[in-house]
Chain A
Amino acid sequence: MDLQAYQTDGFHDELLDASLRPRPGAELLASRLAEASDGELAERQRAADKTLLTMGITFNVYGHEAGTEKIWPFDIVPRVIEATEWAGIERGLKQRIQALNLFIDDIYNERRIVADGVVPDWLVDSGKCFRGPCAGLKPPRGVWCHITGTDLVRGGDGVMYVLEDNLRTPSGVSYVLENREVMKRTFPQLFAGQRISPVENYPEKLLAMLEYIAPPQARDPNVVVLTPGIYNSAYFEHSFLARQMGVELVQGSDLVVQGDVVFMRTTRGLQRVDVIYRRIDDDFLDPLAFREDSLVGVPGLMRAYRAGNVALVNAPGTGIADDKAVYAYVPQIIRYYLGEDAIIPNVPTFVCGEPAQCDHVLSKLGEFVVKPANESGGYGIVLGPRATKEQLEECRARIRANPRNYIAQPMLSLSRVPTVVGDSLEGRHVDLRPFILYGEDIFVLPGGLTRVALVKGSLVVNSSQGGGSKDTWVVHEGRR
């Protein structure tokens, strides 16, 4: 494999610099790839695909027939992050999560940040994910956002930016663990002689966090994972995490609330539940508190939560902090609560709910990426420079109809990583989703999930829209 034939096409490449020299931390990987014989990459890629199929590592795509499982494409060339750069990212993520947790606690209680004029009240109160019933709540140990998956991207300037915060029920961590496993099975030579931060201890850290935030009266807390069921797009992950932690995977129908205490129905009768890692959106959690038509929820769950008899992870109401309009204010939020500048910068963002910013966006709509404030999975995004006239006009009408619900950002030139195409390597755009646990302290899983847009030139990395993933290595310099 001749790496000298590789094209960076003017993009920031994560493996090689513009003159095709390996970046720090990537030297060994680059030389191993260069040593690969003809046909070897294609062969290894096939082996990895087969392994994924046999292991049944799948996700479901909405809009397809119920139960349509797909293998999530995996590319065998890892993405490398050098350890000192990672240490900076880790610090930045801890800072951000700490501030966002204080923010959530504040807006559901004292609302100091609104009173002090740092964040406008309309922004909070009109948030689609603001949950009135959560006002006045104080979750166990003061933690709201126990599990976060923050999306990072590197621009053409080589700087890492936060693209969005995911504080509801972020998914993808199971793929981080499975990707590492598949890499070890199919391309073990790549690992030899390197010091790569392990990811395998995530389930233990997760369980320790879940037990830590249990209601204080629970001596030996009973932890469960709550899933909407096998047709949910992330069901594989729900069952994976339950299995790895050795806890029960429950559905709403398995749980029952009696006297403000949550129980699960077992073959030996009812058994008390203390902590619920719920992978169900707030809206569907409890038909008595939120959406009445929810069939996957548990009637009475919010009462039990309010009574302090059960812990919910993440706490209901955290979604307000992953509203993309609120995102625009996170640098100010960090400064307000911690008195520090944000270590990882935001992508410059215009909030259409602010009239002056909205006018600016509408006047140059074709230059921006426009995003709805409360969608996930990449749905509803309009890429201005690549949109047709009709799409832009439709977008303009939607912004005018509901400016609060839109933000705009400049089109980023996402960094790329060499990716197997046939038997050669071509650059494909990537992002990065590290996972952060907030319990007794804040833990950042080294690396995270690298998602890759497998279609040439595409910037869309979402699993639901043709994206795939890569193993992500935090590499320590110096041979092992």
Chain B
Amino acid sequence: MLSRVAACVYWMNRQIERAENVARAVETTLDLALEGTISPGRLWNALVCTFGDEADFWARHGLADQANVFTFLAFDQANPNSMASCLQAARENARTVRDMISTPMWEEINKAHLYVRAAAAGTAGIQGPREFLDEVKRASQLFTGVADATMSHGEAWHFARMGRLIERADKTSRVLDVEHYFRPAALRFAASAAGAPASGGEAAADVDAGGDAVQWSAVLESASALEMYRKEYGAVSRRNVAEFLVFARPFPRAMHFCLIKAEESLLAVTGGAKGAYSNSAEQRLGRLRSHLDYGAIDEILGGDGGLHGFIDGFQAQLNQASDAISETFFGLPAREKSS
């Protein structure tokens, strides 16, 4: 298939998956705000930080409260990671590759775009934020389902799945890292300034130890993982949540699962085999996947950088893998088309 088209399909799926993940995280934050165990200011600030857009947010807002953060993440056209921007960009990409995707796929993404546009204009007749978030999640899931059921599982579909799963792995890792952002800013600053070890490792967990069960349940909710987690572990603990979201091979939002399936799609495209590589995409994605194959949660938690350090490293390597996919197949300098 055309390199340009492969790039559009890949990014379109990342954008749709991104919108869904943002919606879920906002929903969880709304829940936590009702619980009242963590101050709203810290909660909403943590949400902005989770997606790495804090500089952009503070450039335009003086206060991280529910109204400002919701608008920023839902409708803000100037925020490339808002749900409206993601779905707008996804639809633009879908138009560009209209000939490659099935008509039902196109109609789903078109409907989602029209809905979000109407919601932003206040003409969608929405009862409250939850209805909107539900609709965004549903649109993404419908799109994925329709794609699976109406598009040949050939090269384009594999690029789509790669995009979706790489985005999902990134977002799950960010949600898991949220404790880092719940910490008071001063401590967080000290942690990154000191290069982690002093206040890193298990020490980090103690900062907010009080809110543990609620907070870690919320993390699971954000990844739609609470029910599946319960079947596996029962009670909620930090260690087990981290293990589940990083290593649960059968759970479709766990980072390990995402990498295994993304690599399968990559190898389906190249015709390569696991365990060897013939281009940088295979090398980087394979290395990261095998890193998780042989990883253990207790080593991560007890390691030098602790959970946050591990996640930072994971995200950096995931970005490298995505860049390698761009260079190998799309013939583009890395991330030229990222939004």
Q: Which residues of A contact B (CB under 8 A)?
A: 53-56, 67, 225, 229-230, 235-236, 239-240, 242-243, 248-251, 253-254, 264-267
Q: Does B335 contact A (CB under 8 A)?
A: no
Contact B95 A267 (CB under 8 A): no
Contact A266 B1 (CB under 8 A): yes
Contact residues in B for A249 (Cβ distance below 8 Å)? 97-100
Contact A267 B269 (CB under 8 A): yes
Question: With A55-B107, A267-B155 in contact, do A239 and B99 touch (Cβ < 8 Å)?
Answer: yes
User: Chain A: which residue is nearest B109 at the CB level?
Assistant: A56
Contact residues in B for A240 (Cβ distance below 8 Å)? 98-99
6 A-B pairs closest in CB distance: A239-B98, A242-B99, A243-B99, A56-B110, A249-B99, A267-B329
Contact B107 A254 (CB under 8 A): no
Q: What is the CA–CA distance of A236 and B106 in the complex, to the nearest angstrom?
A: 12
Question: With A230-B95, A239-B98, A239-B99 in contact, do A267 and B106 touch (Cβ < 8 Å)?
Answer: no
Q: What is the CA–CA distance of A142 and B307 in the complex, to the nearest angstrom?
A: 71
Contact residues in A for B97 (Cβ distance below 8 Å)? 249
Q: Does B130 contact A (CB under 8 A)?
A: no
Contact B3 A54 (CB under 8 A): no
Q: What is the CA–CA distance of A250 and B114 in the complex, to the nearest angstrom?
A: 27
Question: With A239-B95, A243-B99, A267-B329 in contact, do A54 and B269 touch (Cβ < 8 Å)?
Answer: no
Contact B99 A267 (CB under 8 A): no
In chain B, positions 307-339 with a C-beta closer than 8 Å to chain A are 329-331
Contact A56 B92 (CB under 8 A): no
User: Chain B: which residue is nearest A229 at the CB level?
Assistant: B96
Contact A251 B4 (CB under 8 A): yes
Contact A254 B95 (CB under 8 A): no
Contact residues in B for A267 (Cβ distance below 8 Å)? 1-3, 6, 155, 159, 269, 329-330
Contact residues in A for B98 (Cβ distance below 8 Å)? 236, 239-240, 243, 249
Contact A54 B95 (CB under 8 A): no
Q: What is the CA–CA distance of A72 and B269 in the complex, to the nearest angstrom?
A: 39
Contact A265 B110 (CB under 8 A): no
Contact residues in A for B99 (Cβ distance below 8 Å)? 225, 239-240, 242-243, 248-249
Contact residues in B for A55 (Cβ distance below 8 Å)? 103, 107, 110
- Interface flags for B86-109 (1: CB within 8 Å of A; 0: not) read 000000100111111001001100
Q: What is the CA–CA distance of A264 and B331 in the complex, to the nearest angstrom?
A: 12
- Interface flags for B148-160 (1: CB within 8 Å of A; 0: not) read 0000000100010
In chain B, positions 145-172 with a C-beta closer than 8 Å to chain A are 155, 159
Q: How many A-B residue pairs have CB under 8 A?
A: 60
Task: Provide a sorted-by-A list of 8 A–B residue pairs whose CB atoms are within 8 angstroms.
Answer: A53-B114, A54-B107, A248-B2, A248-B5, A267-B1, A267-B155, A267-B159, A267-B269
Q: What is the CA–CA distance of A236 and B94 in the complex, to the nearest angstrom?
A: 12
Min Cβ gap A270→B in Å is: 10
Q: What is the CA–CA distance of A243 and B331 in the complex, to the nearest angstrom?
A: 24
Q: Does B111 contact A (CB under 8 A)?
A: yes
Contact B2 A264 (CB under 8 A): yes
Contact residues in B for A53 (Cβ distance below 8 Å)? 114
Min Cβ gap B88→A in Å is: 10
Q: Which residues of B contact A (CB under 8 A)?
A: 1-6, 92, 95-100, 103, 106-107, 110-111, 114, 155, 159, 269, 329-331
Q: What is the CA–CA distance of A56 and B96 in the complex, to the nearest angstrom?
A: 13
Beyond the given A239-B98, A267-B1, please list 11 additional residue pairs across the A-B interface where CB-CB is below 8 A.
Answer: A53-B114, A56-B95, A229-B96, A239-B95, A239-B99, A240-B99, A248-B5, A251-B4, A254-B3, A266-B1, A267-B269
User: Which residue from B4, B92, B114 sits with its C-beta under 8 Å from A254?
Assistant: B4
Q: What is the CA–CA distance of A248 and B8 in the complex, to the nearest angstrom?
A: 14
Contact A265 B107 (CB under 8 A): no
Min Cβ gap B279→A in Å is: 11
Question: Which of B6, B99, B269 has the most C-beta atoms of chain A within 10 angstroms of its own C-beta?
Answer: B99
Q: What is the CA–CA distance of A54 and B99 in the complex, to the nearest angstrom?
A: 17
Contact residues in A for B2 (Cβ distance below 8 Å)? 248, 250, 254, 264-267
Q: What is the CA–CA distance of A240 and B111 in the complex, to the nearest angstrom?
A: 18
Min Cβ gap B55→A in Å is: 27
Contact residues in A for B5 (Cβ distance below 8 Å)? 248
Question: Which of B2, B4, B96, B331 has the most C-beta atoms of chain A within 10 angstroms of its own C-beta?
Answer: B2
Contact A265 B4 (CB under 8 A): yes
Min Cβ gap B285→A in Å is: 16
Contact residues in A for B4 (Cβ distance below 8 Å)? 251, 253-254, 265
Min Cβ gap B98→A in Å is: 4
Contact residues in A for B114 (Cβ distance below 8 Å)? 53-54
Question: Which of A243, A266, A267 has the most C-beta atoms of chain B within 10 angstroms of its own C-beta?
Answer: A267
Contact residues in A for B329 (Cβ distance below 8 Å)? 267
User: Chain A: which residue is nearest B269 at the CB level?
Assistant: A267
Q: What is the CA–CA distance of A239 and B111 in the complex, to the nearest angstrom?
A: 19
Contact residues in A for B100 (Cβ distance below 8 Å)? 243, 249
Contact residues in B for A266 (Cβ distance below 8 Å)? 1-3
Q: What is the CA–CA distance of A236 and B95 in the complex, to the nearest angstrom?
A: 8
Contact B331 A265 (CB under 8 A): yes
Min Cβ gap A23→B in Å is: 36
User: Chain B: which residue is nearest A251 at the CB level?
Assistant: B4
Contact residues in B for A264 (Cβ distance below 8 Å)? 2
Q: What is the CA–CA distance of A404 and B270 in the complex, to the nearest angstrom?
A: 59
User: Chain B: which residue is nearest A253 at the CB level?
Assistant: B4
User: Chain A: which residue is nearest B96 at the CB level?
Assistant: A230
Q: What is the CA–CA distance of A254 and B5 in the complex, to the nearest angstrom?
A: 9
Min Cβ gap B1→A in Å is: 6
Min Cβ gap A173→B in Å is: 15
Contact residues in B for A265 (Cβ distance below 8 Å)? 2-4, 331
Q: What is the CA–CA distance of A466 and B14 in the complex, to the nearest angstrom?
A: 38
User: Chain B: which residue is nearest A67 at the CB level?
Assistant: B92
Min Cβ gap B87→A in Å is: 13
Contact residues in B for A250 (Cβ distance below 8 Å)? 2
Min Cβ gap A263→B in Å is: 11
Question: Which of A56, A243, A248, A254 has the most C-beta atoms of chain B within 10 angstroms of its own C-beta?
Answer: A56
Min Cβ gap A243→B in Å is: 4
Contact residues in B for A54 (Cβ distance below 8 Å)? 107, 110-111, 114
Min Cβ gap B268→A in Å is: 12
Contact B107 A56 (CB under 8 A): yes
User: Chain A: which residue is nearest B7 at the CB level?
Assistant: A267
User: Chain B: which residue is nearest A238 at the CB level?
Assistant: B99
Q: What is the CA–CA distance of A401 and B310 in the complex, to the nearest angstrom?
A: 75
Contact residues in A for B103 (Cβ distance below 8 Å)? 55
Contact residues in B for A229 (Cβ distance below 8 Å)? 96
Q: What is the CA–CA distance of A236 and B97 in the complex, to the nearest angstrom?
A: 11
Min Cβ gap A67→B in Å is: 8
User: Chain A: which residue is nearest B330 at the CB level?
Assistant: A267
Q: What is the CA–CA distance of A250 and B5 in the complex, to the nearest angstrom?
A: 9
User: Chain A: which residue is nearest B114 at the CB level?
Assistant: A53
Q: What is the CA–CA distance of A39 and B237 in the complex, to the nearest angstrom?
A: 62
User: Chain B: which residue is nearest A241 at the CB level?
Assistant: B99
Min Cβ gap B194→A in Å is: 45
Min Cβ gap B5→A in Å is: 8
Question: Which of A242, A254, A266 has the most C-beta atoms of chain B within 10 angstroms of its own C-beta?
Answer: A266
Question: Which of A67, A249, A251 has the most C-beta atoms of chain B within 10 angstroms of its own C-beta?
Answer: A249
User: Chain A: which residue is nearest B4 at the CB level?
Assistant: A254
Min Cβ gap B212→A in Å is: 47
Min Cβ gap B113→A in Å is: 9
User: Chain B: which residue is nearest A242 at the CB level?
Assistant: B99
Min Cβ gap B332→A in Å is: 11
